[in-house]
Amino acid sequence: MTITVKYHLSAQHSKVKIPPKVIVLGDSIVYGYGDLTGGGWVERLKRQWMVDGPVLYNLGVRGDRTKDVFVRLEQEYSVRGELRNQYPDLIIFSIGVNDTARLGKPNGKTFTSQEDFQQHIEKLLELGSRLCQVVFVGMIPVDESRMPFLSSLYYSQAVQYRYKEITREACLARDIPYLDLFEAWQERGQDWMSLHLGEDGLHPNSIGYQKILEEVGNWEPIRQIASQSLRL
């Protein structure tokens, strides 16, 4: 399915060269935890765009779940316009893995129930879509052999898959572009994934973040907004 993304650049863009503004909201993988080389995929993308690309804000918060991003979305959006009466042109969401953690034991209760997660993700997408154009970068698979995380959180690919599918289907229903990194990484096999994940089995290492950057950077919705900036 091909979706053409139309960014709502304001009328002032035709008078002065104001680059598109993009905000990325999510968790520690948006934040870039563990990437001592490049600061994460969002930071790496920001550096690529620094000279003549869109303005990019990294709004990743370690430990955030979907409901946490929903709570702070409007405030984050409203203060990132830089100029009076200006607002971001694109929201990139990348959230959900922290919702999937089982607490205390491999078969424990998930941090967010599947039913609650579906409600939270739908509310997040509805709100984001009312503000501006939205795209979604999906979660990557964890390495289950390295669990538990922080001695008490058990992540599994089986639970991840269910929550990923809820997110993908919610995006599809709203014509929101969704980048399925989970499937892309799984298809490359466990040995490949192990080389691209950090010691905790949850966060990418530096080469993993670089790979996410390449996948996001080559994704058509991101190429579109980058090219709009070049045409200003």
Residue pLDDT, tens place only, 24-67 = 999 999 999 999 999 999 999 999 999 889 999 999 999 999 99
Global pTM value: 0.92
pLDDT given at position 18: 82
pLDDT given at position 228: 82
Mean pLDDT, the chain, whole residue set: 92
Distance CA 79, CA 87 (A): 8
Does residue 27 sit in helix, strand or coil? coil
Residue 12 pLDDT > 80, yes or no? no
What's the whole-number mean pLDDT along residues 11-15? 47
Percentage of residues in the chain with pLDDT exceeding 70?
91
pLDDT given at position 51: 87
Which residue is listed with tokens 């298809």?
A: 187
β-sheet bridge partners, residue 204: 197
CATH class held by domain 19-230: alpha beta
pLDDT given at position 13: 45
Distance CA 161, CA 72 (A): 26
Strands, E assignment, the chain? 21-26, 55-60, 90-94, 102-103, 133-137, 153-154, 178-179
What's the whole-number mean pLDDT along residues 116-124? 98
Q: Would you put residue 40 in left (φ > 0), alpha (ψ -120 to 50) or beta?
A: left
pLDDT given at position 97: 98
Does residue 33 sit in helix, strand or coil? coil
Please state which of the ranges 60-64, 84-88, 149-153, 168-172 shows the lowest mean pLDDT: 84-88
15 pLDDT tier (thresholds 50, 70, 90): low
Phi, psi for residue 38 in degrees, rounded to 5:
-120, -5
